[in-house]
Amino acid sequence: MIFGRSARIALPALVAATVVTAGGVLSVSAPAVAQDPPPPVLHNVKYSVFSEQPFYVDIYYRDVDPPNWAAYSHNPYQFSPKVEAQVGPDQQWNLDVQLADPDRWAMVAATSGAGEARPNVHCVLAVDGVVVATHQGPKGALCSIRNW
């Protein structure tokens, strides 16, 4: 087969263009793999509850960060365990938990419940060793950084 001069020039150019195109397709890098975000920094949260008279109190506290406000508001008790504890002037209830966002979620509340007794309940909330909230009341107390 005999090609004309223009065909002889065009054919190598076509082959070269095809090789460059194929090489470009082959050399395309794979998309970057999405990296997981770093884990949240956890803060040590310490809850303390005591009273001026020996008494059994109900204590609600937050020991995990809810995933978002909607999940919390749908069922706050899922994220706020309750314990009954005997407290007094020399008998504190203490609990250390780890929270990523204590400004938003750290909370402890204690109540003496129905009845006439007024044991004067106190609570203390510390984050990373610094007391950030205290409260006391004749029948109960709420300690939180956030206004509830």
Q: Encoding tokens for residue 45?
A: 């949260």
- In the chain, the percentage of residues whose pLDDT exceeds 70 is 77
pLDDT tens digits for 23-62? Answer: 454 455 556 677 888 888 999 999 999 999 999 999 999 9
Contact (Cβ atoms closer than 8 angstroms) between residue 136 and residue 93: no
* CA geometry: angle 72, 74, 75, nearest 5 deg: 70
pLDDT tens digits for 51-91? Answer: 999 999 999 999 999 999 999 999 998 999 999 999 999 99
Q: What was the pLDDT predicted at 22?
A: 47
User: Burial code of 105-139, b = ≥16 C-beta within 10 A, e = fewer?
Assistant: bbbbbbebeeeeeebbbbbbbbbeeeebbebbeeb
- In the chain, the percentage of residues whose pLDDT exceeds 90 is 67
Locus of tokens 């203490």: 94
The 8-class DSSP code of residue 19 comes to H
Is this structure's pTM higher than 0.85? no
Which structural domains are found in the chain, ordered by start?
Answer: 43-144 (2.60.40)
Q: Encoding tokens for residue 37?
A: 């975000």
